Amino acid sequence: MLLLVIVLIAAAFGFAYSLGAHYTGACMGMPYAAGAIRLVPALLVMAPFVLVGAIFASGAVEATVGHGILAEATVAVPLAVAIILSAFCLTAAYNFVRIPTSTIQILVFSAVGAGIGAGVGIRWATIEVLLFVWASAPFAACALGFLFTRALDRWAGRGGDRPRGTPMTGPVAFALVAIGSAASFAMGANDVANASGAFVMTGLFGLLVAGLVGGVGMVLGVLTWGRPLLQRVAFDVVKLDPRSAAGSQLAQSAVILVSVSFGYFTSMNQALVGAMIGAGLSRPGGAVIRGTVRSVLAGWAVGPVSGAALGFALVALFRFTHLL
């Protein structure tokens, strides 16, 4: 059992590391794309905000993952290992091929598949609420992205926008970085439970320590492996100017923080892509790059299915080897 506990901690920490890398584009892609900040400084600014959000604002979501998906007060360590390994392996694979999938959906459906395989009850009411949140978030972000971008245009006027990627200075650049920092805080609060929720499931750690361990893993992922996803989300999905970048990031952060405040988590990437589509639609020249959006949608489609299948398969393997 001690060996399985070590495996659980290692897998959860590795998953947190993967998450940190996976969501760099969702947090700092807008200021980076707009030329408000360079690549390495963007990652250095992002890291502390992720950690603070993970430690101090993730408790409600940690509780949802730890106690709201599977109908057992304390989940056996082998079952938690199967859930985390499933979500970790799939997220790492999608990171490798640079497809920004929803790790939240992968994690939740890994838990559902593993729970069914182990004969553990599923709290389907929680799954239904999460499905509603996931379905609503991109549309809400799209609408807000459109409205925020139009509002920023009216407030500041359309003149003076710089081409995408042109280095920026002054108040607009500062505002974009500040908005990216807020998104980084939201990401820490929203996503750390994907990894550290397993600690709460098993009773291994409390909410604060679980958030700390997961937050440290995420920070390391941001700093060491965050560049590819940051570059893809920043430059491949939509053509941005500074104000549409600010409108997109504001919309994403608003949707995520509202969701987290109710104890539910939703996809950073889905919220961001929805917000960027809304911002792009607000501008005649802000065209969405449809090929990239189709690849992202495909990733969202296969994520839950692959999570449930792999979670179920790992539980079957653990039972065959008498680990569960």
Model confidence pLDDT, tens digit, residues 241-269: 778 878 888 999 999 999 999 999 998 87
pLDDT exceeds 50 at position 109: yes
Task: Choose between 23 and 147: higher pLDDT.
Answer: 147
Is the separation of the CB atoms in 248 and 45 below 8 Å? Answer: no
Check residue 119 and give left, alpha or beta (phi > 0: left; psi -120 to 50: alpha). left
DSSP letter, residue 262: T
Sign of the torsion formed by the C-alpha atoms of 208, 60, 304 and 300: negative
pLDDT exceeds 80 at position 164: no
Is the separation of the CB atoms in 192 and 16 below 8 Å? Answer: yes
Band (pLDDT 50/70/90 cuts) for residue 235 is: low
State the distance between the two ends of the chain, measured CA to CA, in whole angstroms.
Answer: 11
- Tokens 């997109």 identify what position? 248
| Amino acid type, 36 | A
Is the separation of the CB atoms in 324 and 118 below 8 Å? Answer: yes
Is the separation of the CB atoms in 222 and 50 below 8 Å? Answer: yes
Average predicted confidence (pLDDT) for the chain:
87
114 three-class SS: helix
Structure tokens given for 148: 């925020």
| Angle of helix 242-261 versus helix 268-281 axis, rounded to 10 | 140
pLDDT for the residue numbered 42 = 94
Distance CA 187, CA 181 (A): 10
Distance CA 306, CA 301 (A): 9
- Say if residue 79 is exposed, middle or buried (CB neighbours under 10 Å; 0-12, 13-18, 19+): buried
Q: 0.85 exceeded by the pTM? A: yes
Task: Choose between 293 and 209: higher pLDDT.
Answer: 209
pLDDT for the residue numbered 166 = 53
Distance CA 241, CA 298 (A): 27
Band (pLDDT 50/70/90 cuts) for residue 96 is: confident
Band (pLDDT 50/70/90 cuts) for residue 73 is: confident
Band (pLDDT 50/70/90 cuts) for residue 159 is: very low
Distances in Å between the Cα of 16 and the Cα atoms of 214, 225, 266 are 5, 12, 16
Q: Which residues pair with 70 in a beta bridge?
A: 122
* pLDDT above 90: percentage of residues in the chain: 56
Torsion of CA 48, 272, 90, 11, to 10 degrees: 20
Half-sphere exposure of 225 (CA within 13 A, CB side): 19
